[in-house]
Amino acid sequence: MASDVALDPVATVRAFNRTVTERVGALEETYLARGRSLGASRLLWEIGRPGADVRELRARLGLDSGYLSRLLRGLESEGLVDVTGARGDARVRRATLTDAGRAELERLDAASDRLAASVLDPLPPARRARLVEAMATVARLLDAGQVVIERADAASADARTCLDRYYDELARRFPHGFDVGRSLHPGTDEFAEPHGAFLLARLHGRAIGCGGVLFEPDGTGYLKRMWVADDVRGMGVGGRLLAALEAAARERGCVATTLETNASLTEAIAMYRASGYAEVPAFNDEFYADHWFRKDLV
């Protein structure tokens, strides 16, 4: 039965944290009775069977480099992990599981499955389904809160990866494909200061979205190349990117932002309208556009 008493947000989060840490055994001296901490066990999972670059692990887990090094040394001393220079670049260190490490990972997986079953099994099917759905929602919302939006070089490797995926998506969705060479501003140099700004959205260090703004002589910020990865859509990343681009335009003294888009991008059009953009007559000759929008910032 729903309660009419308003929940205190901070107190509710703290109570949730207490319940989860106790239930999953995070407070125990060794996690899943395997003789090591939850942090060291999580690191084994993140290294996984393919292995991982140390700097990727640090970004993915949000760990201090000193603490990560201590965890890795501990796993090395157990004979579970090897840390070596990456092929072709000794400056890049890579962590891989040994045979013993892969065997331990299988034991950890089995113990983790048993723990998950112990959480679900006491509940009747309907409540079990509710719990699983709630957990999925919580995980996604917690991830959404960890998205970071930052200025970036539009010619950087991460920016190019995002732009290439964006162009591939347009090629799939537009009725007649997409060729960036026929679009306005096909290069990336124009997004460099002082003429513009380029932003990347990151989750656990991975670039998951991008967008650029060009500072026009008429005092408007022209938005271009907004994209969000499929697997994080619905988390509000697009809206945050849009707001950050508008903030960059405001900082530069722009009085409005403008953009154009294609009718095939229905989700983007809905987001622009919900964010206060009004449709206006065509203000450029973008080959792929059939909708033009403007939003006053003052």
pLDDT in tens, 109-121: 999 999 999 999 9
Last residue of a domain, one of 122, 140, 160: 122
Do 160 and 289 sit in the same domain of this protein?
yes
Same domain, 226 and 278: yes
Structurally, the chain folds into a number of domains equal to 2
Q: Which of 9, 85, 92, 80 is nearest to 49 (CA)?
A: 80
194 and 261 both lie in a single domain: yes
Task: Say which residue, 89 or 185, is predicted with more confidence.
Answer: 185
Q: Which of 122, 140, 157 marks a domain boundary? A: 122
Does 4 have pLDDT greater than 80? no
Q: Of 122, 156, 191, which one is at a domain's C-terminal end? A: 122
89 has a pLDDT exceeding 80: no
CATH at residue 203: 3.40.630.30
With 60 as the cut, is the pLDDT of residue 72 above it? Answer: yes
At residue 60, the pLDDT reads: 86
Task: Specify the range with the lowest mean pLDDT, choosing from 29-38, 238-247, 253-262.
Answer: 29-38
36 & 155 share domain: no
Give the best-scoring range by mean pLDDT among 3-7, 85-89, 279-283: 279-283
Instruction: Let me know whether 41 and 106 are in one domain.
Output: yes
What is the mean pLDDT of the segment spanning 33-53? 93
Q: Amino acid identity of 158?
A: D
For tokens 């408007």, what's the residue? 220
Question: Is the domain of 277 the same as that of 156?
Answer: yes
Evaluate whether residue 97 is within a structural domain: yes
In this structure, the answer to whether residues 181 and 99 fall within a common structural domain is no
User: Do residues 108 and 165 share a domain?
Assistant: no
Tokens 């004979």 found at: 79
Name 293's bridge partners.
259, 279
Q: 178 is in which domain, residue-wise?
A: 148-296
Contacts of 70 (CB under 8 A, 6+ apart): none
pLDDT at 1: 45
Mean pLDDT in the chain?
94
The structure tokens 């997986």 sit at 109
**Nearest in space to 225 (alpha carbons), one of 253, 254, 245, 207:** 245
Q: Is residue 1 part of a domain?
A: no
The pLDDT of residue 31: 93
My answer on whether 79 and 212 are in the same domain is: no
- Confirm whether 233 is domain-assigned: yes
pLDDT tops 70 at residue 52: yes
pTM here?
0.83
pLDDT average, residue stretch 222-248: 96
pLDDT digits (tens, 9 = 90+) for 249-276: 999 999 999 999 999 999 999 999 999 9
pLDDT at 3: 55
CATH number of the domain that 43 lies in?
1.10.10.10
Segment among 1-15, 53-67, 142-156, 181-195 with least mean pLDDT: 1-15
Query: Length of the chain in residues, anyone?
Result: 298
Residue 6 has what pLDDT?
79
Give the span between the Cα atoms of 107 and 258, in whole angstroms.
Answer: 55
251 with 216, same domain: the answer is: yes
| Res 29: pLDDT | 87
218 and 100 belong to one structural domain:
no
Rounded mean pLDDT of 280-297? 97
My answer on whether 116 and 154 are in the same domain is no
Report the range of poorest mean pLDDT among 12-26, 162-176, 234-248, 251-265: 12-26
